[in-house]
């Protein structure tokens, strides 16, 4: 929000909400919070419109948040890269050569790049929502049958990793499904609703 206001002080609440992809009421609440914290100054302009300006405190907060975001992003990359290397080493120990990634996105890109430093061959990415696109130079397909000779899969789906793991474990067997620890996947069999006591 602070970046959007810095770029254009004449944004309406409606256009700000649309740009941020949030509800109008939520944009209004965020604006009020930013004003209360002293990050944004509001000035009325003609025709019942308002102009929003970042205050010096707002500029400082924007810089702090940007730094925090970059630090968190770099920390995620380091952790993902380290765990991707561990997954690759485990697959190599099991003498698996050809794998597919399950889920496109940042983790898939990191896994694909890490696999280049190993003897593994990532043959493609399975993600029905992104089928037809390419990620890290790999084709994204709707289903595993669309790829040739896949021995195992690596879960890189960050939206619903447990669901993906459960699905592919049933389909291929747990021994053929790998995942980085950062996904917090439980490898125990899911309990059916009627089995809870």
Beta-carbon contacts of residue 90 (< 8 Å; ≥ 6 apart):
178
Q: What is the pLDDT of residues 152-193, one digit of tens each?
A: 999 999 999 999 999 999 999 999 999 999 999 988 765 555
Does 139 or 27 have the greater pLDDT score? 139
Report the number of distinct structural domains present in the chain: 2
Does 177 or 23 have the greater pLDDT score? 177
User: Is residue 196's pLDDT more than 70?
Assistant: no
Q: Identify whether 195 is part of a domain.
A: no
- Per-residue model confidence (pLDDT) at position 57: 83
- Per-residue model confidence (pLDDT) at position 30: 82
Q: Identify whether 133 is part of a domain.
A: yes
Residue with tokens 């939520």: 26
Q: Residue 102's beta-bridge partner residues?
A: 126, 155
Cβ(94)–Cβ(87) below 8 Å: no
Same domain, 174 and 109: yes
Query: What CATH number has the domain bearing residue 28?
Result: 1.10.10
Q: Can you give the chain as a three-state secondary structure string?
A: CHHHHHHCCCCCHHHHHHHHCCCHHHHHHHHHHHHHCCCEEEEEECCCEEEEEECHHHHHHHHHHHHHHHHHHHHHHHHHHHHHHHHHHHHHHCCCCEEEEECCCHHHHHHHHHHCCCCCEEEEEECHHHCCCEECCEEEECCHHHCCCCCEEEECCCCCHHHHHHHHHHHHCHHHEEECHHHCCCCCCCCCHHHCC
Range with the largest mean pLDDT of 15-19, 37-41, 94-98: 94-98
Q: Identify whether 66 is part of a domain.
A: no
Q: What is the pLDDT of residues 88-138, one digit of tens each?
A: 999 999 999 999 999 998 999 999 999 999 999 999 999 999 999 999 999
Is pTM beyond 0.75? Reply is no
List the domain range (segments joined by +) for residue 166. Answer: 78-183
Of the given ranges (22-31, 136-145, 156-165), which has the lowest mean pLDDT? 22-31
Does 15 or 181 have the greater pLDDT score? 181
Query: What CATH number has the domain bearing residue 149?
Result: 3.40.50.720
Q: What is the pLDDT of residues 43-74, one digit of tens each?
A: 876 666 777 777 788 878 887 787 777 777 78
Q: Identify whether 173 is part of a domain.
A: yes
The token pair that represents 149 in the structure block: 């000779």
Same domain, 88 and 128: yes
Q: Identify whether 59 is part of a domain.
A: no
């Amino acid at each position: 929000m602070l970046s959007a206001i810095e770029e254009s002080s004449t944004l309406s609440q409606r256009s700000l909400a649309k740009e941020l992809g949030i509800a109008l009421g939520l944009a209004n609440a965020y604006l009020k919070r930013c004003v209360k914290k002293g990050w944004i100054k509001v000035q009325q302009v003609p025709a019942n419109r308002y102009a929003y300006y970042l205050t010096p405190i707002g500029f400082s907060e924007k810089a702090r948040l940007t730094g925090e975001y970059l630090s968190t992003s770099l920390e995620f990359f380091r952790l993902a890269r380290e765990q991707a290397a561990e997954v690759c080493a485990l697959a190599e120990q099991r003498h698996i050569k050809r794998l597919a990634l399950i889920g496109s996105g940042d983790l898939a890109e990191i896994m694909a790049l890490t696999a280049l430093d190993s003897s593994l061959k990532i043959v493609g990415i399975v993600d029905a929502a992104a089928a037809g696109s390419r990620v890290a130079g790999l084709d994204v397909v709707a289903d595993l049958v669309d790829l040739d000779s896949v021995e195992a899969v690596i879960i890189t789906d960050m939206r619903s990793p447990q669901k993906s793991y459960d699905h592919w474990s049933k389909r291929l067997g747990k021994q053929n499904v790998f995942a980085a620890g950062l996904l917090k996947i439980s490898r125990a069999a899911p309990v059916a609703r009627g089995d809870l006591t």
